[in-house]
Amino acid sequence: MNALNIKGLTKVYKGGTRALNGINLQVKQGDFFALLGPNGAGKSTTIGIISSLVNKTDGSADIFEYSLDTQPVEAKSCIGLVPQEFNFNQFETLMQIVVNQAGYYGVPRNVAKERAEKYLKQLDLWEKRNQPARNLSGGMKRRLMIARALMHEPRMLILDEPTAGVDIEIRRSMWTFLKEINEQGITIILTTHYLEEAEMLCRNIAIIDKGIIVQNTSMKSLLATLNIETFILDLAGEHQNITLTGFEHRLLDIHTLEVDVAKEESLNNVFEQLSNQQIQVLSMRNKSNRLEELFVRLVESGREVQRIKDESAKKEALANE
Amino acid sequence: MNNRTLIALQTLLIKECTRFLRIWIQTLVPPAITMSLYFVIFGNLIGSRIGKMGGFSYMEFIVPGLIMMAVITNSYSNVSSSFYSAKFQHNIEELLVAPIPNWVIIAGFVGGGVARAILIGIIVTCVSMLFVDITLHSIPIIIITLLLTSTLFATAGLINAIFAKSFDDISVVPTFVLTPLTYLGGVFYSLTLLPEFWQWVSKINPIVYMVNGFRYGFLGVSDVDYLYSLGLLVGFNVILLSFAYSLINRGVGIRS
């Protein structure tokens, strides 16, 4: 069963901005799905439509086979939303925020209080339960939004950049928590700018740019398409010229070498050649996250394809005149 | 109404009442102080020189109007500020993503405004009892007029907040429309004191009917027929509630 089934979803804002251009997207039940794209690509608009915060222009969205148009109550009940911006009342206490949210979904107050204890404890917020939300740190506010979204025990959790501005320790604990709830059967859709986060957590991925899905596949098969990986080597001593036969390489400065290594080639070969030249490698690292490289390439190639399409459409229009 | 909807409505009402009770110094105390000043200045100091009005002492005459004035102002400002704050802080989204019927959103916010108006009405009545002996001609008319008026102005406050784009926008209507209409709505005088032309002009002001309906409930006297007042109140309520429902349904001011 699909947790989410989007068909021909289109959004044109007042003023003519076309945020979504008839996208199709399916997310399977139980999946941990990444929806990535540059700023203004249409991620938040897509999430806004799914969660009923944005009115769509055209198309349809079904949540666990409930249509958002004809069965909005059933569809909305399946979704828990963690939005990008803090959108709780800053003057209310944590308990009030999460218990009220459960109430909006029809959860009786006594049950809501039990769940509040469970989720606030799991997210390390229980000690702060009677404090106004404005007193929380940024990381705590993010966790509060996750707790709030889980209060009605949704079947699908949508997280719009949940770890933005959160330090690495809290981010990692949030990853662990999200993995756990996904293992319990909750479908998760995640948008993030931290691509290592998507790589680490998600099984499937869609990349959206300018309102179009430019890639929709499994994380494994997407990463498998990456042919070349770039490594940065920190070298002992100073070097002006280095020869590496069979490898694209460049000296970034007298101590640092950048080498492109194709998938079928061995790194041993690089080290052997450097060793033969009496060059000692002190340390080595990836130039960037693998997914990041793919992301940039896909977005750029998608834009190139669109540019060519636009140009040929213009030419055709001129020829018809 | 199913159980889920009932819980959602109850939650929203509790949240709205908690909000105005949490900031009681801003919401409950000022009307009590303002009304005490009105009673001291207009009732005791000036009123004693005015003599009888409508067969009652001036103090007795102005009590229902002053209560109504507080009810109108507070029901309106409660909903306009609460709903606009929810929009401003984006926590209105908590309601929009939930499976809540739109009428529950309206009922929750308007209900909060009505609850505050009733509480203010009780407080102001208690304050007025320090200055004058209150007579109650018809308790049912007092209750019905109070409920209809507070619902009407709470709904008006909601509509104002739906369209508002800044905090200035929610203060424009109370300052430039509500306050003048209230002061010219027969709170401090009987319409019979006005020249015929101004009596006719006053009857265009809807607040005249609310003040007089309420006054009839307390004193049994009114410048207009109280049944006509109640009829108008019901009519205005139907129009404004329908308008608010249509705005929320279309997502005006709350959905992009």
Question: Which residues of chain A are within 8 Å of residue B247 when distances are taken between CB atoms?
Answer: none
Interchain contact, A106 vs B94, CB within 8 Å: no
Q: Which domain holds residue A258?
A: 228-286
Q: What is the pLDDT of residue A115?
A: 96
Asked whether residue A292 is assigned to any structural domain, the reply reads no
Asked whether residue B21 is assigned to any structural domain, the reply reads yes
Residue B105: which residues within 8 A CB-CB, separation 6 or more? B12, B95, B248
Q: Do A216 and A235 belong together in one domain?
A: no
Interchain contact, B94 vs A79, CB within 8 Å: no
Predicted TM-score (pTM) of the model is 0.84
Binned at pLDDT 50, 70 and 90, residue A150 comes out as very high
Residue ending a domain, choose from A186, A206, A224: A224
Asked whether residue A212 is assigned to any structural domain, the reply reads yes
- Whether the CB of A246 is below 8 Å from some CB of chain B: the reply is no
Question: Which residues of chain B are within 8 Å of residue A73 when distances are taken between CB atoms?
Answer: 99
- Whether the CB of A85 is below 8 Å from some CB of chain B: the reply is yes
- Whether the CB of A40 is below 8 Å from some CB of chain B: the reply is no
Asked whether residue A293 is assigned to any structural domain, the reply reads no
DSSP letter at B154 equals H
User: Tokens standing for B28?
Assistant: 């409950």
- Whether the CB of B249 is below 8 Å from some CB of chain A: the reply is no
Asked whether residue B23 is assigned to any structural domain, the reply reads yes
CATH number of the domain encompassing residue A257:
3.30.70
pLDDT tens across B193-250, in order? 888 888 888 888 989 999 999 999 999 998 888 899 999 999 999 999 999 999 999 9
User: Tokens standing for A287?
Assistant: 């130039």
Asked whether residue B60 is assigned to any structural domain, the reply reads yes
Q: What is the pLDDT of residue B237?
A: 96
Interchain contact, A87 vs B91, CB within 8 Å: yes
How far is residue A189's CA from residue A34's CA, in Å, rounded to a whole number?
Answer: 6
Q: What is the pLDDT of residue A90?
A: 92
- Whether the CB of A15 is below 8 Å from some CB of chain B: the reply is no
pLDDT (mean) for B7-26: 95
- Whether the CB of B45 is below 8 Å from some CB of chain A: the reply is no
Question: Which residues of chain B are within 8 Å of residue A72 when distances are taken between CB atoms?
Answer: 99
How far is residue A231's CA from residue A251's CA, in Å, rounded to a whole number?
Answer: 12
Q: What is the pLDDT of residue A290?
A: 63
Q: Do A62 and A149 belong together in one domain?
A: yes
Interchain contact, A55 vs B255, CB within 8 Å: yes
Asked whether residue A92 is assigned to any structural domain, the reply reads yes
Asked whether residue A313 is assigned to any structural domain, the reply reads no
Question: Which residues of chain A are within 8 Å of residue B91 when distances are taken between CB atoms?
Answer: 87-89
Shortest CA gap B118–chain A (Å): 24
Q: Do A156 and A279 belong together in one domain?
A: no
Q: Do A244 and A115 belong together in one domain?
A: no
Name the 3-class secondary structure at A14: coil
In chain B, residues 1-40 whose CB comes closer than 8 Å to chain A: 3-5, 7-8, 10-12, 14-15, 18, 22
Q: Do A110 and A188 belong together in one domain?
A: yes
Angle, helices A109-122/A138-150, rounded to nearest 10 degrees: 140
Question: Which residues of chain B are within 8 Å of residue A105 when distances are taken between CB atoms?
Answer: 4, 8, 98-99
Give the residue among B239, B234, B216 at the shortest CA–CA distance from B142. B216
Q: Do A113 and A249 belong together in one domain?
A: no
Q: What is the pLDDT of residue A197?
A: 85
Name the 3-class secondary structure at A138: helix
pLDDT (mean) for B28-42: 89
Does position A274 have pLDDT exceeding 80, yes or no?
yes
Q: Do A258 and A176 belong together in one domain?
A: no
Q: Do A197 and A232 belong together in one domain?
A: no
The answer to whether A205 touches A256, Cβ cutoff 8 Å, is: no
Q: Do A173 and A198 belong together in one domain?
A: yes
Q: Do A13 and A116 belong together in one domain?
A: yes
Binned at pLDDT 50, 70 and 90, residue A288 comes out as low
Question: Which residues of chain A are within 8 Å of residue B9 when distances are taken between CB atoms?
Answer: none
Best mutation target among B21, B94, B95 (most A Cβ atoms within 10 Å) is B94
Shortest CA gap A150–chain B (Å): 12
Q: Which chain A residue has its CA at the smallest distance from B16's CA?
A: A100
Residue B130: which residues within 8 A CB-CB, separation 6 or more? B36, B39
CATH number of the domain encompassing residue A66:
3.40.50.300
Report the b/e string of A72-91 with b at 16+ CB within 10 A.
Answer: eeebbbbbbbbbeebbbbee
Does position A313 have pLDDT exceeding 80, yes or no?
no
Asked whether residue A294 is assigned to any structural domain, the reply reads no
How far is residue B64's CA from residue B214's CA, in Å, rounded to a whole number?
Answer: 6
Shortest CA gap B69–chain A (Å): 29
In chain A, residues 266-295 whose CB comes closer than 8 Å to chain B: none
Binned at pLDDT 50, 70 and 90, residue A285 comes out as confident
Q: Which chain B residue has its CA at the smallest distance from A151's CA?
A: B98
Asked whether residue B255 is assigned to any structural domain, the reply reads no
Q: What total of structural domains would you count in chain A? A: 2
Q: What does the CA dihedral A53, A54, A56, A59 come to, rounded to 10 degrees?
A: -50
Asked whether residue A301 is assigned to any structural domain, the reply reads no
Interchain contact, A88 vs B98, CB within 8 Å: no
Interchain contact, B98 vs A101, CB within 8 Å: yes
Asked whether residue B256 is assigned to any structural domain, the reply reads no
Interchain contact, A96 vs B15, CB within 8 Å: yes
Asked whether residue B32 is assigned to any structural domain, the reply reads yes
Q: What total of structural domains would you count in chain B? A: 1
Q: Sign of the C-alpha dihedral, residues A127, A129, A131, A136?
A: positive
Q: Do A121 and A210 belong together in one domain?
A: yes
pLDDT tens across A33-54, in order? 999 988 888 999 999 999 999 9
Q: How many residues does chain A have?
A: 321
Residue ending a domain, choose from A224, A246, A267: A224
Binned at pLDDT 50, 70 and 90, residue A293 comes out as low
Interchain contact, B11 vs A73, CB within 8 Å: no
Q: Which domain holds residue B173?
A: 3-250
CA distances, A149 to each of A80, A116, A124, A145 (Å): 5, 11, 16, 6
In chain A, residues 41-60 whose CB comes closer than 8 Å to chain B: 48, 51-55
